[in-house]
Amino acid sequence: MSTATKCPVNHGTVPVLDDDPFSPETLENPLPFQERLREAGPVVFLAKYNAYAIGRYEDLSAAVANWQDLSSGSGVGLNEPWRARGLLQMDPPEHDAPREVLQSILSSRVLRSMKDTCMETAGGLIKALLAGTAPGGQVEIDGHTGIGSKLPVNFFPEASGIDEEGRENLVPYADHIFNALGPDNGLVEQGKCKAAEYTEWATAKCQRDALKPEGFGADIWAAADRGDILHEQAPLLTRSLLSAGVDTTVYGISGMLYAFASNPEQWEALRKNPNLARVAFDESLRWESPVQQIFRKTTTDVTIGGSVIPAGSRVMLCFAAANRDPRRWENPDKFDLSRDPSGHLSFGMGIHQCVGQHAARLQAASLLEQLVPRIKSIELAAPIERHHNNTLRGWESVPLRLTLA
């Protein structure tokens, strides 16, 4: 239950919610909280966490672009960061050079040149899953454990030049990092015992000698050799890719498969027009928002919708709420390939907008290209299971029944 009253520190102008966005109930189904957040006002005070929150599309787009007043430099979680700051937690001018380096290493041109490799990895995965099923036959697989969590854990570390040893650490490593952006609750507690071990593993993998001679990691070290960034920034930047690029894509792909399985007519629409593949991934990201929210800290008093957020406040930018804001999207709860989802906030916006989005898009597009000609229909074979994380909309299981073409 939540109540909206007025916040005393803002002279009564900011509505107060007593919701806990990180409770197990809200993590299981965040939509009711996100609706209350949007409807309470342009800015809301979350009493339990002494933090502010924004959920309406227009206000959030403006806030996320305003890096001067809503800073990432003190961390993008509810609390101060617990580990060395990566690209995500830098403000200009510190952010400029490493951002430029990553942007060119992960440009759409570079990622397009990796299409064949990604298609091959995706093709191998799908062929193995469908092996032994005749045309017209049915097969039951788990879209999360069998597909979503497989492709990024193989393709992406390979492209980054990370060897095979310990790749199973990637998802739990980032799981803890994303949990730690929320409050110090049971999810963080569970991850703590292994956090130091995972961090040591990831840091070791990002050293020059440990990386393969070709890959995003080696490209980052080459940029340091050219003087584009400092040498001490190279392992941290490489590590940013591992922490930001795997779980997000895993859940993005699992969410896309869930979107189709729970809206089978949209799969038919995609089969009729495979050119909708890019729209399909973006629309599923809008609908499911793998990164539910991220925080900023105000450097000065910030006025939003007539309400003042005092300097030094933590502010939750709830991308997931804005992605279903009826003020911006018609029939927002519908996963619908006939809409134009561009402008969704699942990759953020402004100077921190996801630098790895072309890598995520390439993987989703390759999977769809492999699935569309082979799969006539997708449906849910059993109830889905969520994986709770303080930042990500995670999955344990997306049971699918596929009918082959």
User: What are the residues binding ligand HEM (CB under 6 A)?
Assistant: 72, 76, 87-88, 99, 106, 240-241, 244-245, 248-249, 252, 285, 290-291, 294, 346-348, 352, 354-356, 359-360
CB of 115 to ligand HEM, least distance (A): 15
CB of 170 to ligand HEM, least distance (A): 12
CB of 142 to ligand HEM, least distance (A): 19
Q: Which is nearer to ligand HEM, 257 or 359 (CB)?
A: 359
CB of 104 to ligand HEM, least distance (A): 13
Contact 101, 223 (CB under 8 A): yes
Residues contacting 173, CB < 8 A, separation 6+: 198, 199, 201, 202, 242, 243
Cα–Cα distance measured from residue 375 to residue 384, given in angstroms and rounded to the nearest whole number? 20
Give the residues across from 395 on adjacent strands. Answer: 386
Cα–Cα distance measured from residue 70 to residue 197, given in angstroms and rounded to the nearest whole number? 33
Q: Which is nearer to ligand HEM, 142 or 288 (CB)?
A: 288
Q: Which is nearer to ligand HEM, 21 or 245 (CB)?
A: 245
Cα–Cα distance measured from residue 331 to residue 327, given in angstroms and rounded to the nearest whole number? 10
Q: Which is nearer to ligand HEM, 41 or 252 (CB)?
A: 252
Residue 1: count of CB within 10 angstroms of its CB: 4
User: In the bound complex, which residue of the shown chain has the CB atom lying closest to ligand HEM?
Assistant: 356
Q: Which is nearer to ligand HEM, 195 or 294 (CB)?
A: 294
Strands (DSSP E) contained in 212-370 are 294-298, 302-304, 307-309, 314-317
Contact 378, 261 (CB under 8 A): yes
- Please report how many Cα atoms fall inside a 13 Å half-sphere around the Cα of residue 239, on the Cβ side: 23
CB of 279 to ligand HEM, least distance (A): 15
The torsion angle over the Cα atoms of residues 324, 329, 334 and 335, rounded to 10 degrees, is -90
Cα–Cα distance measured from residue 156 to residue 216, given in angstroms and rounded to the nearest whole number? 10
**H/E element, 242:** helix 233-245
The residue whose two tokens read 């940029």 is: 223
CB of 344 to ligand HEM, least distance (A): 10
Contact 154, 354 (CB under 8 A): no
Q: The tokens of 108 are what?
A: 């759409």
Q: The tokens of 359 are what?
A: 């890598």
Q: Which is nearer to ligand HEM, 76 or 368 (CB)?
A: 76
CB of 9 to ligand HEM, least distance (A): 26
Q: Which is nearer to ligand HEM, 248 or 263 (CB)?
A: 248
Q: Which is nearer to ligand HEM, 40 or 88 (CB)?
A: 88
- Please report how many Cα atoms fall inside a 13 Å half-sphere around the Cα of residue 280, on the Cβ side: 33
Strands 70-71 and 393-397: unpaired
CB of 8 to ligand HEM, least distance (A): 30
Cα–Cα distance measured from residue 243 to residue 246, given in angstroms and rounded to the nearest whole number? 7
Q: Which is nearer to ligand HEM, 7 or 389 (CB)?
A: 389
CB of 67 to ligand HEM, least distance (A): 9
Q: Which is nearer to ligand HEM, 15 or 290 (CB)?
A: 290
Strands 15-17 and 44-46: parallel
CB of 232 to ligand HEM, least distance (A): 17
